[in-house]
A and B are shown apart, each in its own frame.
Chain A
């Protein structure tokens, strides 16, 4: 069964420091995609970054980067130079190919990040 695990229910970081949010996944399918979403207290879901299983380089989007270690099945999100506005819930998600009953987009339970001034 496909699974996404975020082992950190909550994380604290000092403003301007970097923080790593952990995500491990479990699948036997060679083709998959990994996403990170941010959910502020206002409730909306904001897409941050995507990594495909065949991508050779780690994905980066501004202050966000994805530390993709395929052999370890981990896809950790790194936020550099944290800002107060980064305080939010962060979800890791995995997509597997296939339609119908084979379609899977599985979300982890999330990590609540708090940035302290």
Chain B
């Protein structure tokens, strides 16, 4: 009963490096989301997708790119990591927009 799986769970990068966070869901959900969580700020939406092949910007999209080539996977990319992107990243999915989102366990990312 995997639900939403995020890899990796932890990562340390140097400024300027690139990396991709992977999110996979096995619930056949149409909607997928990437959030970042910073201390004292709750969750903020980075990008989201309403179906395979579609992506859209959320509240804080700058510095990130996403792709949804397969329905079950949603990738979050950092092309040139910056210290301001140090955060905990959560992926979530839902069957429809107005239904509860199921979250992964998060990825703790540190940019030095």
Judged by a CB distance under 8 angstroms, whether B77 is at the interface is: no
Interface residues on A, range: 20 to 34
Q: Kindly provide the distance from the CB of B48 to the nearest chain A CB, expressed in whole angstroms.
A: 7
CB-CB nearest in chain A for B92: A45
Can you list, as one digit per residue, whether each of B76-112 has a CB less than 8 Å from chain A (1) or not (0)? Answer: 0000000000001010100001111111111000000
A 22-59 contacts with B by CB, 8 A: 33, 35, 37, 43-47, 50, 52
CB-CB nearest in chain A for B40: A109
Question: With contacts A33-B98, A44-B106, A97-B97 known, is A108 near B42, CB below 8 A?
Answer: yes
Residues of B within 8 A of A37 (CB): 103
Bound CA–CA A33/B100 (angstroms): 10
Judged by a CB distance under 8 angstroms, whether A107 is at the interface is: yes
Residues of A within 8 A of B100 (CB): 35, 47, 50
Chain B interface (Cβ < 8 Å from any Cβ of A): 33, 40-45, 48, 50, 56-59, 88, 90, 92, 97-106
